[in-house]
Amino acid sequence: MRSRITRRQQIIAMLVALLVVVSSLIALNSWQGGGKGGGKITANLAAQCQRDPARIPTPTPGGSNYLHTCGAEIYDAHGQPVRITGVSWFGFETANKAPDGLWARNWQTILDQLAALGYNTIRLPFSDDIFQPGARPSGINYLLNPDLQGLTSLQIMDRIIAGARQRGLRILLDRHRPTSAGQTDLWYTSTRSEAQWIAEWKFLAERYRGDDTVIGADLDNEPRGPATWGTNDPRTDWRLAAQRAGNAILSVNPYWLIFVEGIEHIGNDWYWWGGNLAGVADAPVILNIPNRVVYSPHDYGPEIYPQGWFKDPTFPNNLPSVWDRHWGYIAERGIAPVVLGEFGGRSVGSDAEGKWQRALVAYLAQHHWGFISWALNPDSGDTGGILQDDWLTVNSGKQNLYAPGLGARISTTGPGSTATGSLEVTYHANGGQTSTNSVSFTVSLFNHTGLPMQLSNTTLRYWIDGDADSTGVSVDWAALGTSHVSARVVSAHQGNQNGYIEIAFHDVILPAYGTTGPILIRYHRLDWGPFDPSRDFSYASFVTDRAWPRIGLYQNGRLLSGVLP
């Protein structure tokens, strides 16, 4: 018997059919996917997302290898998946206004060690104090770090970023505090406005535009207390603030990733400062340029605070469900990538803290998600660091726990990128020197391999336009000792150049991932008359380290890298 369909049933059926069609179209065109939720996008869409990174008006500058997101994954500009695994190196956010540990070690050797340990990213916390006029660092031993003498905090940040690049490391900038006095609940205070916060981020985004060493901005550290998510209150809604700041940054530098931390609580669901991202499910951060948001929760163990889930009788087996609920679901559902922005603890053993930390690292490994440990510094009172109190010895327990989950290096290919081969030469000029009677510059040599390298047959050539027979040269200073470096002027015609300065090394073995450190070279006319170094092929005016192909690298007289005049 034919059933009778009412008008109401027809309307319901039409609505259901419409809902099915709309859902299908959303699924077909969605950019959500990757990771464990990767089945949510087709292979064609995944390829398009990988190969069309920027979705921005202008192409990536200089072939730079900037990063972008697609669903739960991060990709480089070539469509290769990237997993960010790093450490925080704090100090810029304190009254020192410089990374900690420089009282004990040379900054370049710290970077060398980080690279050798296998991390690919450094998170650099800072406070707004570094932007204040005349901000000067403290806590630096200038006998160990002579090249930092006289620099401002921002100039030291420039050096750290350039040094990271030379070692294949990436940098994530982290606005950790409004002032060095301490952290605050919200991203603004009565003395530091939201407008100032955004303006300073735009300043940094512009300062490092074109340098793909810097992957992005961790907008604000650990919003908490009155901070809300999705309430649309402009005074407290962290999601809206993140959108305002993120869009402002991308308006001047559209290539950065925007790292967004969580808040402390959503309703009565209280969690870690910066850790609760449960609100993303209903109110994600949406920016004007897509494929830029990375969620970056913070998570800690029972030594920091005895949260209720640590007292559960099923601990630590209950922990994955806690993490899933507060932030893991974001990547599981393919909403956006998750990089755990802070975690750490002193124990990796069989006590509660150790069980928590080992369970967390296993959880991250299972899902292939990135992480940034807190911290490199041993002077983190509640967590300790990757390094022990001497700022040299590695905490083997932590390193052995983290090492199996470390991601591969993320190449940099833009201005100042590494030279081809396993050795790299960097250069900077020492101030403006046109129309003068002497010119000085600094070079360094880096070993990008895991093996020591003998430099006895290695030389550098710096090409000059002037008469070689009338030019003198000296090694004014070298980190490895002037007895291990020599320089001479050689007459040789190449293009429009009349000779070159040859820099040679004596009894030098460059350790794995090691550096010679700065070598200061000075050259002049023998009659000390004025000349213009801008005519010299190898001269450039930039005053921060970068790879410079106009200085040739030779072994046994054969050109390994660099270009000729």
Q: What is the pLDDT of residues 257-272, one digit of tens each?
A: 999 999 999 999 999 9
Domain total of the chain: 2
Question: Please, are residues 38 and 77 in contact by the beta-carbon 8 Å criterion?
Answer: no
Q: Are residues 263 and 395 in the same domain?
A: yes
Least confident of 16-30, 101-115, 195-209: 16-30
What domain range includes position 440?
423-561
Residues marked active site are found at 222, 342
Instruction: Quote the CA–CA distance of 93 and 101 in Å, as a whole number.
Output: 14
Query: Does residue 352 have a cis peptide bond before it, meaning omega lies within 30 degrees of 0?
Result: no
Q: Are residues 361 and 455 in the same domain?
A: no
Query: Span 525-542, mean pLDDT?
Result: 86
Percent of the chain with pLDDT over 70: 85
Q: Which residues contact 134 (CB under 8 A, 6 or more apart)?
A: 152
Q: Are residues 457 and 523 in the same domain?
A: yes
Question: 56 falls in which pLDDT band (50, 70, 90)?
Answer: very low
Residue 40 has pLDDT above 50, yes or no: no
Mean pLDDT of the chain: 86
Task: Please state, as a whole number, how many other Cβ atoms lie within 10 Å of the Cβ of residue 406.
Answer: 17
Q: Are residues 469 and 367 in the same domain?
A: no
Q: Are residues 185 and 330 in the same domain?
A: yes
Instruction: Quote the CA–CA distance of 391 and 469 in Å, as a whole number.
Output: 48
Residue 17 has pLDDT above 60, yes or no: no
Q: Are residues 286 and 346 in the same domain?
A: yes
The CATH number of the domain holding residue 489 is 2.60.40.710
In a domain, 327, yes or no: yes
Q: Are residues 349 and 466 in the same domain?
A: no
Instruction: Quote the CA–CA distance of 462 and 31 in Å, as a whole number.
Output: 50
* Residue 450 pLDDT: 60
In a 13 Å sphere around the CA of 491, the CA atoms on its Cβ side amount to: 5
Q: Are residues 394 and 439 in the same domain?
A: no
The CATH number of the domain holding residue 283 is 3.20.20.80
Q: Are residues 391 and 430 in the same domain?
A: no
Give the SS3 label for residue 397: helix
Least confident of 62-66, 155-159, 418-422, 557-561: 418-422
Q: Which residues contact 391 (CB under 8 A, 6 or more apart)?
A: 101, 104, 105, 110, 378
In a domain, 42, yes or no: no
* Residue 55 pLDDT: 46
Q: Are strands 293-295 and 339-340 parallel, antiparallel or unpaired?
A: unpaired
Question: 559 falls in which pLDDT band (50, 70, 90)?
Answer: confident
* Residue 16 pLDDT: 35
Question: Please, are residues 221 and 175 in contact by the beta-carbon 8 Å criterion?
Answer: yes
- Distance, first Cα to last Cα, the chain: 93
